[in-house]
Structure 1
Amino acid sequence: MNLNYEEFKEKIKDDIKDYMDEKYKDCGVVIRKVNKTNREVDGLNFYDIPGLKNATPTIYVNNLYEEYERTGKYEEVIRIAAETMERGIKSFNDEIKAELLDISRLKDNVFFTLINAEQNKELLKTVPHREFEDLAIVYRWNLGNDSLGTYTNLVDNDLAKKEGLTENDLYNAANKNTKELFPILVKNMNEVISEIIFGDSELSGEMEEEFKEVMMETQDERSMYVITNESKLFGAASMLYEEPLHELAEKIESDLYILPSSIHEVIAVSADFGSPDELAEMVYEINMDQVDINDRLSNQVYCYDKDLRTLRLATDTINKSLDDVDRGVISTPEREVR
């Protein structure tokens, strides 16, 4: 059996319930186009799930097919998909408290994130947003945490309308909530590297301190600073808060260049570090070689002016597209609330 993508998509839709517990036999299964960050994918959803109201896990057919192409083993792929869906349903039932799914609490738990505007122009037609340079501020609903991580839901136009919230309402609420839900974190890159090296190390505290002293001797104009949040989730939005940028710029006595390493973090360097165009080329190469398509934010570089206290684009490179050959994996399903 050698299935093309369309054949695989229809077959897995028809077959997946055969590999799951009998209690899911009456559920509906649908595959629909989903505008995810930076790309469009096919999402497989169950509906009429026993015990779940207005919510459904989503797994992505594109990723399943890539695994099928890699292994050629349809039975193995569909078994993994079925187990993943069951695990998603079970963890939703077990871990996410019912009150967190109450959409009347949306305003209390909404936060903002940054995505690339051009790459996501189709997605932006469906969600409340506001532009920021070449990026867009969009809003997510924090559903809470479980043993597998933090679960969030993108706020679309329908959800906002249902709650009678304008984009300005969402922005004002998210501006307050984001830094409370995801406190901002600014760290010297050398400190981050030190924590990675010594995180689970049994080396002596004295040796760790000596290592840190050597690492931290880098001059400010050559230092790199990670700006994210304590959860390291959607942390690039931390650069929307001007005060931490100002404090860092005052500390190193320089304007800053901001390098968007992913939607989860950005890197700040002194304006004396190098030219913005050279830095943008580095950002582009790292994006294409090392950052998953889902996590790419921009190929541009931004400048924070510490005297004017403004953040603006510093480059206008020709390498604006975030696309390349994407490779996916079968992963924990996302949760979507309707």
Structure 2
Amino acid sequence: MIAEKVFAEGVAKDIRNYLPPEYENADFQVVQKNKNNGVQLIGVQVNLPGKDLSPIIYVEQFFDEIRQGEPVERVMNRIASCIEKSSRAPFMNSGIDLTNYDSLKEHLAIKLVNTQANRKMLQEMPHENIEDLSAICYVDFPVDSGEGKATLEVRNQHLSIWNIDAKKIFQQARSNTQPVNTPILQSMNEIMLSIFNEEGHSTNLLNESVEFGLRSHDMLYALTNAEKQYGASMITQPEVLNKLEQLFPEGFYVLPSSVHEVLIVPDNGEMEPKMLGEMVREVNKNEVERQEVLSDRVYSYDKEKHQIRQEPDSIQKVKEMER
């Protein structure tokens, strides 16, 4: 991390020489950002005069290229290209004013994070606790999917600037109708068929009739949102839980695949929580990037409280969130 920071300082000092004249008065600062699950990233923040938003170029990838013998000149040109591209991104001119709540409220959304792994970060932001998870709000900038993804997590300082309380921003975030708030439930069998067969089609089962649950023999379903970004939060929507209860009247388990999706397993007596917990931990350890891990625990649906609850038999604390 120290060597990476020194590299970033060098980039901040010299990158102006690789950029066009419009960046002559730009300010380049080295920043360290705490990301999900305690992941720390070093980046160079680009502050352009007259711009409210300041893109950050994270240097890890470029630092690795230098260590692998890539010429410094070539790497610096790549960084400069990223800076120019990010500065021209649509979200930079989206019309959103971060000091004006009315200009951004329709772009609020919710994502889920692991409470214990993010306890320090959560001290700085409004959040709602859901079992061992926490729901937080973020601004989802209106950018076409082909242009990448731009988001900003809501911090306590934003509430002070907007003069609004946490309850209202969560209400607003849940009422918004952008693609990240549009839930999609699909059979994993259909998903695999659609991947390997161009003519395959994966249906959003949340639009199906309640008889679906009685006639379905599939064992695994993926729940996410239309953008497949931070889609695990769909499990916090009451209307989604109500629909799942109708589709799976025998009950169901929720497996946290990542912050982007959860898996739904019908409770037909064939899969035990302990076994499911072992599966989740194995996948998290070997297949999921640390920054995208949601939880090592399995949940079931509490019909009386209309919410998910942890399955005690799925918990193995000494092995949770290990890397």
Q: Hey, what's the Cα distance between the residues in 2 that align with 1:282 and 1:174?
A: 32
Q: Label 1:99 to 1:253 Cα distance change in 2 as closer, same or farther (>3 A).
A: closer
Q: Using the TM superposition, give the Cα deviation of residue 261 of structure 1 relative to its aligned residue in structure 2, in angstroms.
A: 0.4
Q: Hey, what's the Cα distance between the residues in 1 that align with 2:56 and 2:5?
A: 18
Q: What is the aligned counterpart of 1:132 among 130, 144, 147?
A: 130
Which is further off, 299-308 or 257-266? 299-308
Identity %: 26
Q: Using the TM superposition, give the Cα deviation of residue 185 of structure 1 relative to its aligned residue in structure 2, in angstroms.
A: 0.7
**Counterpart position of 2:266:** 270
Are the equivalent residues in 1 in contact too, given 2:229–2:260 (CA < 8 A)? yes
**2:297 aligned counterpart, secondary structure:** coil
Are the equivalent residues in 2 in contact too, given 1:220–1:270 (CA < 8 A)? no
Q: Using the TM superposition, give the Cα deviation of residue 283 of structure 1 relative to its aligned residue in structure 2, in angstroms.
A: 1.0
Superposed CA offset, 1:155-210 (max 9, x none): 11112210012111111111212677521111111111122122xx3xxx6xx59x
Q: Label 1:99 to 1:55 Cα distance change in 2 as closer, same or farther (>3 A).
A: closer
Superposed CA offset, 1:6-62 (max 9, x none): 432321221222111122122111112212112122231011x14x42111111133
**1:169 aligned counterpart, secondary structure:** helix
Residue type at the aligned position of 2:81: E
**1:231 aligned counterpart, secondary structure:** coil
**Counterpart position of 1:330:** none
Aligned residues: 304
Q: Hey, what's the Cα distance between the residues in 2 that align with 1:178 and 1:278?
A: 37
Give matches, 1:323-334, under 5 Å.
324=323
Q: What is the aligned counterpart of 1:230 among 226, 231, 241?
A: 226
Give matches, 1:1-338, under 5 Å.
4-38=3-37, 39-47=39-47, 49-50=48-49, 52-92=50-90, 96-99=93-96, 103-104=100-101, 105-146=103-144, 147-177=146-176, 182-198=181-197, 201=198, 220=216, 223-271=219-267, 272-306=269-303, 308-314=305-311, 315-319=314-318, 321-322=320-321, 324=323
Q: Hey, what's the Cα distance between the residues in 2 that align with 1:287 and 1:268?
A: 16
Are the equivalent residues in 2 in contact too, given 1:96–1:145 (CA < 8 A)? no
Q: Using the TM superposition, give the Cα deviation of residue 151 of structure 1 relative to its aligned residue in structure 2, in angstroms.
A: 2.2
Q: Using the TM superposition, give the Cα deviation of residue 101 of structure 1 relative to its aligned residue in structure 2, in angstroms.
A: 5.7
Q: Using the TM superposition, give the Cα deviation of residue 321 of structure 1 relative to its aligned residue in structure 2, in angstroms.
A: 4.7
Q: Using the TM superposition, give the Cα deviation of residue 103 of structure 1 relative to its aligned residue in structure 2, in angstroms.
A: 2.9
Q: Label 1:181 to 1:287 Cα distance change in 2 as closer, same or farther (>3 A).
A: closer
Are the equivalent residues in 1 in contact too, given 2:222–2:263 (CA < 8 A)? yes
**Counterpart position of 1:327:** none
Quote the RMSD (CA, aligned, Å): 2.6
Q: Hey, what's the Cα distance between the residues in 2 that align with 1:238 and 1:97?
A: 26
Q: Label 1:125 to 1:308 Cα distance change in 2 as closer, same or farther (>3 A).
A: closer
Are the equivalent residues in 2 in contact too, given 1:303–1:312 (CA < 8 A)? yes
Q: Hey, what's the Cα distance between the residues in 2 that align with 1:169 and 1:309?
A: 22
Are the equivalent residues in 1 in contact too, given 2:180–2:227 (CA < 8 A)? no
Q: Label 1:159 to 1:89 Cα distance change in 2 as closer, same or farther (>3 A).
A: same
Q: Hey, what's the Cα distance between the residues in 1 that align with 2:183 and 2:264?
A: 14
**2:141 aligned counterpart, secondary structure:** strand
Are the equivalent residues in 1 in contact too, given 2:12–2:28 (CA < 8 A)? yes
Q: Label 1:96 to 1:161 Cα distance change in 2 as closer, same or farther (>3 A).
A: same
Residue type at the aligned position of 2:137: Y
Q: Using the TM superposition, give the Cα deviation of residue 99 of structure 1 relative to its aligned residue in structure 2, in angstroms.
A: 4.5
Q: Label 1:88 to 1:273 Cα distance change in 2 as closer, same or farther (>3 A).
A: farther
**Counterpart position of 1:332:** none
Q: Using the TM superposition, give the Cα deviation of residue 78 of structure 1 relative to its aligned residue in structure 2, in angstroms.
A: 2.1
Residue type at the aligned position of 1:45: Q
Q: Hey, what's the Cα distance between the residues in 2 that align with 1:277 and 1:44?
A: 44
The runs of 5 or more residues in structure 1 that have no matched partner are 210-215, 325-338
Superposed CA offset, 1:97-132 (max 9, x none): 325666332333211110111111221122111211
**1:55 aligned counterpart, secondary structure:** coil
TM-score, normalized by length of structure 2?
0.85
Are the equivalent residues in 2 in contact too, given 1:100–1:143 (CA < 8 A)? no
Are the equivalent residues in 2 in contact too, given 1:227–1:266 (CA < 8 A)? yes
Q: Label 1:321 to 1:69 Cα distance change in 2 as closer, same or farther (>3 A).
A: farther
Greater relative contact order (Cα < 8 A, sep 6+): 1
Which is further off, 244-253 or 267-276? 244-253
Are the equivalent residues in 2 in contact too, given 1:259–1:268 (CA < 8 A)? yes
Residue type at the aligned position of 1:138: I
Residue type at the aligned position of 2:85: R
Q: Using the TM superposition, give the Cα deviation of residue 221 of structure 1 relative to its aligned residue in structure 2, in angstroms.
A: 6.2
Q: Label 1:90 to 1:247 Cα distance change in 2 as closer, same or farther (>3 A).
A: closer
Structure with greater proportional strand content: 1
TM-score, normalized by length of structure 1?
0.81
Residue type at the aligned position of 1:239: I
The runs of 5 or more residues in structure 2 that have no matched partner are 202-211
